[in-house]
Amino acid sequence: MSIQSDVNQSQTLYFLRNKMQAVAVISEETVKRFLTYSELIPIISSAFGQFSRGQDGGVVQPVRMMVPVQKHNGMCYVMPCLYDGYFSTKIVTFFKDNVDLPSHNAYISLFDGTNGAMRALIAGETITAKRTAAMSAVATKFLARSNSKILAILGTGTQARSHFLCLTSIFSFEEVRIWGRTFSKAEALAKELSCKPCESAEEAVRGADIIVTATSSSTPVLKYEWVKPGAHVNGVGACRSTWQELDPELMRNATVYADSMEAIVKESGDVILSKCDVYAEIGDLVNGTKEARADQTTVFKSLGLAVMDTVTSTFVYKKYCENELKCDK
């Protein structure tokens, strides 16, 4: 195997078995350069719709596989999907106790869906952060009230930052509040993003129109009595069947939406342990087959869909080909 490097962009093309099969290795820096919310949100919205159409939507996606790493309080997810001529598999790890490393680490392998040839190996942290925030943005556009003025974010990590950047790109908030278990982290992120740090989750949430929970907590951090009637909640943490981030009373009293009905009843502790009803998928709203009940208190419980990694990594790969190197599309 010979290797040709593009030193200027820190990218690599591998030429396998002298057949000129190019495999692009795309860095986080390049992903950040090519991936904007203005372009990503419509792509994610369309993927929601196609996913919820079932077989007619052309999305082939099994429920993700989780491998526990109990010794180190971590886990690994394997997320495959075939859609629109490309097949991708993301491997993402989550180690909540990491101190000097990100809690999430990910890579996405992208293949040609017509012949199985590998096209790219793409750094997955930025894609995961941005596509998750864009998923919440699509849900929020349907479910939040149009006059929403206050955003509350519970969490101080990567997803908190990405949700701030994404949601403030589509809403004009008068105030954004941030809370974290460690107040100094909330202060630091609030200073970076020019918003208000809060010493308690209740302080952050009271009166908020839109709430994001993006924590690594396994027990509820958002109480039902703090949430004002008609608020919209995006719950993106608590990714295991035994974890909860949202008060069971909130789940039972809100109208709950899922990214995947199949996955949420198997993987979401917020749903399983509260025994709440789940009204619809976000894709049903995109397709117009279910109501967006924005006059009620709503929850979007997000677990993540592999198809979102497929469409986002395909978009990045095509951008890379157009701007950097000649690729086999």
Query: Which residue numbers in the chain have pLDDT < 50?
Result: 1-18
pLDDT of amino acid 12: 47
- Give yes or no for a contact between 287 and 47, defined as CB atoms under 8 angstroms apart: no
| Whole-angstrom distance, CA of residue 187 vs CA of residue 221 | 18
Residues in contact with 182: Cβ distance below 8 Å, sequence separation at least 6, in sequence order: 156
Alpha-carbon 45 to chain mean position: 13
- Give yes or no for a contact between 161 and 188, defined as CB atoms under 8 angstroms apart: no
pLDDT of amino acid 6: 38
Tokens linked to 134: 């864009």
| Whole-angstrom distance, CA of residue 267 vs CA of residue 64 | 9
pLDDT of amino acid 7: 33
Write down the pTM of the prediction: 0.91
Specify the 3-state DSSP secondary structure of 271: helix
Percentage of the chain surpassing pLDDT 70?
A: 92
DSSP 228: P
| Whole-angstrom distance, CA of residue 91 vs CA of residue 72 | 18
- Give yes or no for a contact between 136 and 163, defined as CB atoms under 8 angstroms apart: yes
pLDDT of amino acid 3: 30
